[in-house]
Structure 1
Amino acid sequence: MSEVLKFACVVLACMVVVAPFAAEGAISCGTVVSKLSPCIGYLTGGSLPANCCTGVKSLYQAAQTTSDLQTVCGCLKNAAKSMTNIKMSNAASLPGKCGVSIPYTFSAAIDCSKVN
C-alpha cells in the first residue's frame, strides 16, 4: 500500500508541474494515477493483474489528442523518476502486454514534448 501512496504523491506533485501545459487536454495526472495504480506491482517486478490492463486500455482510449498523450507521458516519466524500484523494461512493455499500441516507446529518457 505504501507504493500506491508514494505513487499518488508523486503524481500529485507532477500535476502541479504539468497542469499549466496540459490545459488544452482532457487527461490529468490524477486520471493517470487512478487508471494505472493497479499496475504498480507489475511495474516493480510482480505479475500483471487484469485490472492493470483495464486501466491501461481506458487511459489510452481517453488520450485522444497530442496534448493528452504528452500529459500522460509527462506524468509517467515524473513518477518513474521518483520511484526508484520501477523496472523500466516492465514500463516499456506494459502497453504491448495489454494490447494497446501507443505512438512511442516509454523510457526515462523520453522527450514527452515530442510525443504526438
Structure 2
Amino acid sequence: MGASSRSAHSKRTCLIIATIMIVATLSAHEAQAIKCPDVLKMVMPCLSYLKKGGAIPAACCAGVANLAKTAKTKPDREQACVCIKPVAKSYSINYDLANKLPAACGVDYKINITPNIDCSKVKY
C-alpha cells in the first residue's frame, strides 16, 4: 500500500469514526429526551398548591428543581410545556401561582404558562 492510499484510507477511517460519534451523540440525546410521565411525576406534588395556594410542599420544590435540571434544552422545554399544558387546563390551576412557583422554590427556571401558550415559542 502506497503512502497516498494509506492517507486516503486514514481519512476515510477518521470520517467514519466522526460520523459514528455524531450519530451516537444524537441518538443519546433522543434517548434522554424528556417524557410526559416523567414531567408529570415531577410537577404533580405541586397540584394542591397550584389550585389553592398556601404552603408549597417540599416535594413540589424538589420536582420543580428536577424539571429545571432535566429540561435545559429548547426541545425539552417545549416537550415539558406540551406535557403540562393540558393537565394544567384540566385541573384549573392558578397560572399566576404556576408562573411564580420556580422563584418561590428558589429555582432559576423561567416559565410563563398560560391556557393558550404556544409551546413551540417557549424560551429557554
Unpaired runs of 5+ residues, structure 1, are 1-22
Superimposed CA distance per residue, residues 76-108 of structure 1 (whole angstroms, 9 cap, x where no aligned partner): 111111123x11111111111112233442222
Aligned residue number for residue 87 of structure 2: 79
TM-score, normalization by structure 2: 0.67
TM-score, normalization by structure 1: 0.71
Change (3 A) 1:90 1:104: closer
Give 4+ residue runs of structure 1 displaced > 6 Å after superposition: none
Percent identity for Structure 1 against Structure 2: 42
* Distance in 1 of aligned mates of 2:94 and 2:56: 13
Greater relative contact order structure (CA < 8 Å, 6+ sep): 1
Matched, 1:105 2:87: no
Unpaired runs of 5+ residues, structure 2, are 1-28
* Distance in 2 of aligned mates of 1:75 and 1:66: 14
Deviation at 1:61, TM superposition (A): 0.2
Contact 1:45/1:90 (8 A) holds in 2: no
Q: Which amino acid aligns with 2:63?
A: G
Q: Which amino acid aligns with 2:73?
A: T
Q: Over aligned residues, Cα RMSD in angstroms?
A: 1.8
Q: Which amino acid aligns with 1:102?
A: Y
Matched length: 93
Q: Which amino acid aligns with 1:68?
A: D
Aligned residue number for residue 37 of structure 1: 44
Aligned residue number for residue 20 of structure 1: none
Aligned residue number for residue 49 of structure 1: 57
Q: Matched residue of 2:72: which SS?
A: coil
Correspondences of 1:1-80 after superposition (within 5 Å): 24=30, 26-46=33-53, 47-80=55-88
* Distance in 2 of aligned mates of 1:28 and 1:100: 21
Q: Which amino acid aligns with 1:74?
A: V
* Distance in 1 of aligned mates of 2:111 and 2:46: 19
Moved more, 69-78 or 97-106: 97-106
